[in-house]
């Protein structure tokens, strides 16, 4: 642990905190259809899309219509991405002439990017042509992020509206999210990345002669445009296999900071959007405070674990302390240029959100550090989370918290003026239970079947961690990997596709049902018996509920993996 | 594995999501006469 490391973590945290109000306010104006500074540029395009698609922007949908539109839209996108991959050999813009992607891998990748997960069982630079990367992967990064934002905004409308049969128009929300929120930020970030040295070209791989006289192929392509939205969308699917550890994806300290900021910026800003739309900005800050406490605990835990290093190396007399020549700590699998602090922060940010981009290999983190990464994802994407999905995940836990508090004080629970009744609690339970069901059920299945065990790169608790991490990452729509697991097999391609599908759509549907149910209700005025939900007491209570639910659900599984491995590592045994 | 099987899985997945939405809708629309009690 160094002062430099903490200062860099503080710099990132302050950058996010400063972005919350301006971006949150801007997003409110976008989804209220008010004039924005980009209206003159994108307004004609927006109206052109509505006319072309036959959309009446004034016609709103009930929650079921909204959900069915989302399912149809995502289904079409998933099908298109699958088709592009399978037809790749016939399509242009493929200077390396890659063949069609294997069917099971194509299905896994299509589900992965349509669901905003970006789990990658392939290496981009040796599998996908430029058209597939641009028209397939990059387009889905935009659309899946826009879908998440739309669902988040629909739920916020549920809280904000009174006696309304509708929650918005899905087509309008997705269009506005892409045009006014994602596109401008991604375009600006692309230019910055190009300036910092990230390639943006349609030229093919180049061959070079190395210093030893050997021949080497250097992959490149339209990287910057994909990396910008990869980060902003909390999607995280890299152009290259090494993701943001690759110098062409993340060449400098400035790009490293920018990429982390892009991952968090919309998710954090949406808490302010929530506060403003319900007319209580303080409530938005309360949600962000709960996220911030969990974020701070995660980054401190991982940084401490990684800075401590590996006791087996210490026993051999190897100096793992920080000095002018080394960052110190556990540097296995980490980029020397990022060191322990920035690797720990990046890993925290990417697992707090649903990003899954990595600048270090999570498989090589200490067991405790890797366990915290898993715990971040197991908490259901509520620590800032994915764009939109972080907000609705946190709001689901807020519903659970007021429900539990209501039981404790003997009153019908209320949250921001809406009475929380059996309907909302049932839907919340359906959404929250589908995640552990997929993670634990599929991890258990993989742990006792031949195809599941055949892909392991390590034995013992570390091997179990590889399985648990994969299904946690898939279900939480994160996409990062414990790289020791060979996931490009029919078993893992299909089971992980199932995990990602459940983790996305079997959560979104009940969330929209909650939105519809809440929107139809009257807003009740505050009274002396109303539980305050924007103060520090509720924030602590909310964090407690999240940790207790997460702990009760996943602690047994974590005990068999990272916790057991940490204990055995202290005793000198490695896996 | 064949494209037909993969496409069948995609269609089955989104069909399941659609049925799930209808199921949730059934829970949201409570039967008349089951008003919830409030303190």
Rounded to whole angstroms, the Cα distance separating A37 from A479 reads 34
Backbone dihedral region for residue B38 (phi beyond 0: left; psi -120 to 50: alpha; all else: beta): beta
Q: Which residues of B touch A71 (CB under 8 A)?
A: 14, 17-18, 21
- Quote the tokens at residue A441: 């059920």
- Work out the angle between the directed axes of helices A253-277 and A223-232 (0-180°, nearest 10): 40
B13 near A CB under 8 A: yes
Best mutation target, A423, A438, A514, A530, to test chain B (most B CBs within 10 A): A423
Give the whole-angstrom CA distance, residue A493 versus residue A486.
Answer: 10
Interface contact B24, partner A, CB < 8 A: yes
Contacts of B13 in chain A (CB under 8 A): 111, 501, 505
Please write the tens of the pLDDT for every residue from A259-286.
999 999 999 999 999 999 999 999 999 9
Maximum Cα interatomic distance, chain B, rounded to a whole number of Å: 58
Specify the DSSP element, H or E, that contains A216.
strand A215-218
Q: In whole angstroms, how far apart are CA A108 and each of A45, A118, A127, A264, A448?
A: 33, 10, 14, 26, 22
Asked if A519 and A165 count as a contact pair (C-beta separation under 8 A), the reply is: yes
Mutate to test the interface with A, among B14, B21, B31, B34 (most CBs of A within 10 A): B21
Return the pLDDT at A489. 94
Q: Which two tokens stand for residue A164?
A: 């309304």
Distance (Å, whole) CA A111 – CA A118? 9
**pLDDT tens digits, A98-125:** 999 999 999 999 999 999 998 999 999 9
Evaluate if residue A392 carries a pLDDT over 90. yes
Return all residues near A185 (Cβ < 8 A) that are at least 6 apart.
A228, A232, A262, A265, A266
Select the residue of B2, B18, B27 nearest A103 (Cβ to Cβ).
B2
Between the alpha carbon of residue A138 and those of residues A267, A339, A355, the distances in Å are 19, 29, 14
Strand partners, A200: A222
Q: Are A117 and A354 in contact (CB under 8 A)?
A: yes
Residue B20, chain A, CB below 8 Å: the answer is: yes
- Cα A374 from Cα A484, distance rounded (Å): 15
Q: Which residues of B touch A510 (CB under 8 A)?
A: 24
Three-point CA angle A164, A165, A166, nearest 5°: 90
B15 reaches A (C-beta below 8 A): no
Burial letters A197-216, b for 16+ CB under 10 A, else e? ebbbeeebeeeeeeeeeeee
Asked whether the predicted pLDDT for residue A457 surpasses 50, the reply is: yes
pLDDT tens digits, B1-39:
689 999 999 999 999 999 999 999 887 755 444 444 444
Report which of A271, A348, A294, A429 is spatially closest to residue A8, judged by C-alpha positions: A348
- Closest approach of A258 to chain B, Cα-based (Å): 36
pLDDT per residue over A206-265, tens digit each? 999 999 999 999 999 999 999 999 999 988 889 999 999 999 999 999 999 999 999 999
CB A575 within 8 A of CB A459: yes
Who wins on pLDDT, A401 or A409? A401
Q: Maximum Cα–Cα distance for chain A, whole Å?
A: 80
Answer whether A63 touches B (CB < 8 Å).
Answer: yes
CA distance A491 to chain B (A): 12
Which of chain B's residues have a Cβ under 8 Å away from the Cβ of A497? 9
Please give the Cα distance from A81 to A106 (Å, whole number). Answer: 8
CB under 8 Å to A347, separation ≥6 — which residues?
Answer: A302, A358, A359, A360, A362, A365, A369, A373
pLDDT of A139 higher than 50: yes
| pTM of the entire predicted model | 0.94
pLDDT at residue A570 in the model = 84
Nearest to A267 by CA among A180, A368, A388, A361: A388
Residue among B1, B22, B25 whose CB faces A104 most closely:
B1
**Cross-chain Cβ contact A86/B3 below 8 Å:** yes
Owner of token pair 């005025």: A525
Tell me the average pLDDT across A511-536: 90
User: In this complex, is the C-beta atom of A379 within 8 Å of any C-beta atom belonging to chain B?
Assistant: no
Please determine, for residue A44, whether its predicted confidence score (pLDDT) is greater than 60: yes
Please tell me the predicted confidence (pLDDT) of residue B35: 46
How far apart, in whole angstroms, are the C-alpha atoms of residue A446 and residue A343? 29
- Whether residue A64 and residue B25 make contact (CB cut-off 8 A), yes or no, is yes
What are A543's two structure tokens? 């964090």
Could you give the ipTM of this predicted complex? 0.90
A427 near A513, Cβ under 8 Å? yes
A223 Cβ neighbours under 8 A, 6+ residues apart: A193, A198, A199, A200, A239, A240, A248, A249
pLDDT of residue B32: 45
Q: Which of A103, A505, A516 sits opposite B17 (nearest CB)?
A: A505
Asked if the C-beta of B28 comes within 8 angstroms of chain A's C-beta atoms, the answer is yes
Per-residue pLDDT of A169-209, as tens digits, reads 999 999 999 999 999 999 999 999 999 999 999 999 999 99
Q: What is the pLDDT of residues A64-83, one digit of tens each?
A: 999 999 999 999 999 999 99
Kindly report the three-state secondary structure assignment for every residue of A58-92: CCCECHHHHHHHHHHHHHHHHHHHHHHHHCHHHCC
Instruction: Report chain B residues whose CB lies below 8 A from the CB of A418.
Output: none
A21 confidence band (pLDDT: 50, 70, 90): very high
């Amino acid at each position: 642990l160094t002062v430099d490391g903490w200062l860099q973590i503080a710099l990132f945290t302050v950058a996010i905190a400063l972005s919350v109000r301006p971006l949150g306010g801007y997003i409110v104006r976008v989804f209220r259809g008010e004039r924005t500074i980009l209206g003159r540029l994108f307004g004609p395009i927006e109206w052109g899309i509505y006319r072309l698609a036959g959309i009446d922007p004034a016609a709103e949908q009930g929650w079921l219509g909204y959900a069915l539109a989302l399912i149809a839209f995502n289904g079409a996108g998933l099908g298109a991405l699958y088709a592009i991959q399978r037809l790749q050999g016939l399509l242009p813009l493929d200077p390396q002439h890659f063949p069609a992607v294997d069917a099971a891998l194509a299905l896994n990748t299509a589900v992965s990017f349509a669901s905003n997960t970006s789990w990658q069982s392939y290496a981009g630079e040796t599998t996908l042509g430029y058209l597939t990367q641009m028209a397939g992967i990059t387009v889905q990064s935009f659309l899946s992020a826009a879908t998440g934002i739309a669902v988040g905004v629909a739920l916020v409308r549920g809280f904000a509206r009174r006696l309304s049969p509708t929650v918005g128009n899905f087509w309008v929300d997705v269009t506005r999210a892409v045009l006014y929120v994602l596109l401008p930020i991604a375009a600006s970030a692309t230019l910055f990345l190009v300036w910092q040295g990230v390639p943006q070209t349609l030229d093919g791989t180049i061959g070079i002669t190395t210093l030893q006289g050997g021949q080497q192929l250097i992959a490149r392509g339209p990287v910057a445009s994909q990396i910008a939205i990869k980060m902003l969308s909390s999607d995280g699917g890299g152009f290259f296999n090494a993701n943001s550890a690759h110098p062409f994806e993340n060449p400098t300290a400035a790009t490293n900071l920018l990429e982390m900021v892009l991952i968090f910026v919309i998710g954090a800003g949406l808490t302010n959007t929530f506060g403003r739309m319900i007319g209580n900005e303080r409530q938005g800050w309360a949600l962000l405070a709960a996220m911030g406490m969990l974020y701070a605990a995660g980054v401190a835990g991982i940084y401490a674990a990684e800075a401590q290093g590996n006791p087996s190396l210490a026993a051999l007399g190897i100096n793992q302390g920080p000095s002018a020549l080394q960052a110190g700590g556990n540097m296995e699998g980490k980029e020397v240029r990022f060191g322990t602090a920035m690797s720990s922060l990046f890993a925290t940010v990417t697992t707090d959100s649903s990003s899954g981009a990595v600048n270090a290999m999570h498989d090589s983190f200490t067991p405790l550090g890797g366990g915290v990464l898993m715990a971040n994802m197991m908490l259901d994407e509520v620590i800032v989370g994915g764009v939109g999905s972080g907000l609705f995940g946190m709001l689901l836990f807020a519903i659970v918290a007021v429900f539990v508090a209501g039981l404790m004080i003997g009153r019908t629970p209320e949250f921001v003026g809406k009475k929380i009744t059996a309907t909302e609690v049932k839907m919340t339970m359906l959404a929250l239970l589908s995640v552990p069901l997929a993670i634990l059920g599929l991890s258990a299945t993989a742990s006792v079947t031949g195809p599941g065990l055949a892909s392991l790169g390590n034995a013992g608790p570390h091997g179990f961690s590889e399985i648990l991490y994969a299904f946690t990452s898939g279900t939480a729509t994160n996409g990062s990997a414990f790289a020791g697991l060979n996931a490009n097999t029919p078993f893992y391609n299909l089971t992980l596709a199932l995990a990602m599908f459940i983790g996305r759509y079997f959560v979104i549907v009940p969330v929209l049902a909650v939105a519809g149910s809440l929107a139809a209700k009257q807003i009740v005025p505050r009274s002396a018996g109303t539980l305050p939900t924007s103060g520090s007491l509720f924030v602590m209570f909310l964090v407690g509920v999240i940790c207790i639910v997460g702990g009760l659900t996943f602690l047994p599984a974590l005990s068999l993996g990272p916790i057991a491995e940490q204990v055995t590592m202290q005793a000198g045994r490695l896996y | 594995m064949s494209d037909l099987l993969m496409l069948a899985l995609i269609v089955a997945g989104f069909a399941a999501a659609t049925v799930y939405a209808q199921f949730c809708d059934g829970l949201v629309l409570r039967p008349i006469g089951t008003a919830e009690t409030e303190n």
